[in-house]
Amino acid sequence: MSKESPKKPRDESDQHETRDVNPRAVAWFAAGLVIAVIIIFFALNGMFNHFNARPPAGEPSRITEPRVAVPEPQLQTNPTADMEQFRARENEILGSYGWVDHEAGVVRIPIERAMDLVERRGLHPDPNSFGKTPLQMRQARTNAP
Does the pLDDT value for residue 1 go beyond 60? no
Per residue in 10-59, pLDDT (tens digit) is 666 667 776 788 889 999 999 999 999 999 999 999 999 988 886 666 66
138 falls within a domain: no
Query: Alpha-carbon distance 15 to 18, whole Å?
Result: 9
pTM comes to 0.34
90 falls within a domain: yes
Query: Alpha-carbon distance 23 to 21, whole Å?
Result: 6
What mean pLDDT comes out for the span 106-135?
79
Could you tell me if 107 and 117 are in contact, meaning their C-beta atoms sit under 8 angstroms apart? no
Query: Alpha-carbon distance 99 to 109, whole Å?
Result: 9
Domain range for 100 is 82-125
Could you tell me if 36 and 44 are in contact, meaning their C-beta atoms sit under 8 angstroms apart? no
132 falls within a domain: no
